[in-house]
Amino acid sequence: MKKIGLCIYWMILILPLVNGQQLPLLQQQVEHRNPAFIPANFQKYNYSTQASIGYNLQWVALEDAPRTLSADFTNWNEDFGLLYGGNIIHDETGPTQFTGVSGKIGYGLQFSKNWLLTTSLKGGMIMYRVKGDQLDFLDSGDFTEAGASKLYPDISLGSMLYFREKYYLGFSIPQIFGLNLNFKEEGGDYNIQRDRHYYGVAGVRFDLYMDSWLDISSEVQYLPEAPILFSGNLVYDFREMFWTTVSYSTANRMRFGGGVFSNLGGNQLSIGYVFSHFFQRYGPAYGGSHELRISLSWN
What is the distance between the terminal CA atoms of the chain, rounded to a whole angstrom?
Answer: 32
Helix (H) or strand (E) holding 98: strand 96-110
User: What is the per-residue pLDDT for 147?
Assistant: 63
Q: What pLDDT, on the 0 to 100 scale, is given for residue 190?
A: 61
| DSSP codes, 215-282 | EEEEEEEE-TTS--EEEEEEEEEETTTEEEEEEEETTTEEEEEEEEEEEETTEEEEEEEEEEEE--SS
d(CA 235, CA 104): 26
Name the DSSP letter for residue 144: G
- Architecture in CATH for domain 2-298: Beta Barrel (2.40)
pLDDT of 80 reads: 95
SS3 134: helix
- DSSP letters of 20-48? S--S---TT-HHHH-TTPPPHHHHHH---
In single-letter form, the type of residue at position 110 comes to Q
Q: Which of 288, 208, 218, 291 is nearest to 257 (CA)?
A: 291
- Using DSSP's 3-state secondary structure scheme, residue 8 falls into helix
- Would you kindly state where each structural domain of the chain is located, as residue ranges? 2-298
Q: What is the pLDDT along the chain (299 residues), one digit of tens a residue?
A: 444 444 433 333 333 333 344 566 666 678 888 999 999 999 899 999 999 999 999 888 888 888 999 999 999 999 999 999 999 999 998 888 889 999 999 999 999 999 999 999 999 999 988 876 665 554 555 545 556 778 888 899 999 999 998 999 999 998 887 666 666 655 556 666 667 889 999 999 999 988 899 999 999 999 887 889 999 999 999 999 999 999 999 988 899 999 999 999 999 999 999 999 888 666 557 788 999 999 999 99
Asked if residues 136 and 112 have their Cβ atoms less than 8 Å apart, the reply is no
Burial class (CB in 10 A: 0-12, 13-18, 19+), 140: exposed
Query: How high is the pLDDT of residue 5?
Result: 44
Neighbours of 133 (CB within 10 A): 10
CB-CB contact of 148 with 182 (8 Å)? no
Residue 230 — φ and ψ, nearest 5°?
A: -120, 150
Predicted TM-score (pTM) of this structure: 0.83
CB 213 within 8 A of CB 206: yes
CA distances from 291 to 24, 176, 256 (A): 12, 26, 11
Check residue 177 and give its pLDDT. Answer: 76
d(CA 44, CA 213) in angstroms, rounded, equals 8
